[in-house]
Amino acid sequence: MKRLMILLTLLAGTPLLADVVAGEKVYKANCAICHTINGGSSLGPDFNMVSYKRYKEEIEYYAKDPYALAEAFGYSANAMPTLPLEDQEFKDVAEYISSLQPFKEWMKKETVVVKSKENNQIKKEE
Ligand code: HEC
């Protein structure tokens, strides 16, 4: 019981949780007019898909400077405005968006399976 209390205290004090809660507020106030969550593409892409495809850092940097990164992210033009938010708010909103999907595209096992097949073939050749 004592251990559980310590664990709960630690969790409550984790900046990660605070970030997600603060990030949701940033999302609602600044992003929701153009980005839905699970509502499909609006002006910008659905954040559920962004959460699945992108690393947290990518989301943060894109939100900070969409003009600089639009091409690198595969867009032919930049339609997202540069928003006047604090660094911490970009961090929080990226944390929140990233938390929407715990399973990420890069976690797929396929590449691992392909790699092990290749390894087997190499072994057979030897
Ligand atoms: C005025 C509309 C608008 C607002 C407000 C807006 N965005 Fe966007 N966002 C877009 C559009 C449109 C795109 C698609 C790329 C482009 O055309 O610039 C985009 C793309 C993105 C991407 C890249 C998606 C990807 O993975 O390819 C991220 C990340 C993002 N926005 C985050 C945010 C965050 C975070 C906020 C709020 C703090 C926000 N956006 C507010 C319109 C908007």
| Under 8 Å between Cβ of 84 and 73 | no
Pocket of ligand 1 from Cβ distances under 6 Å: 26, 30-31, 33-35, 43-45, 50, 53-54, 59, 62-63, 66, 70, 73, 75, 78-81, 83, 93
What is the residue-level pLDDT of the chain in tens, covering all 126 positions?
A: 667 666 666 666 555 566 999 999 999 999 999 999 999 888 999 999 999 999 999 999 999 999 999 999 999 999 999 999 999 999 999 999 999 999 999 998 765 555 555 555 545 444
Pick left, alpha or beta for residue 77 (phi over 0 → left; psi -120 to 50 → alpha; otherwise beta). Answer: beta
Question: What residue ranges do the domains of the chain occupy?
Answer: 16-125
Cβ count near 56 (within 10 Å): 16
What is the fold, at CATH topology level, of the domain defined by 16-125? Answer: Cytochrome Bc1 Complex; Chain D, domain 2 (1.10.760)
Pocket test for ligand 1, best of 51, 67, 80, 100 (most atoms within 8 A of CB): 80
Give alpha helix (H) positions in the chain.
2-13, 15-30, 47-53, 56-64, 66-69, 87-99, 110-125
Residue among 86, 47, 44, 40 nearest 66 (CA): 44
Residue 35 CA to ligand 1 center (angstroms) comes to 7
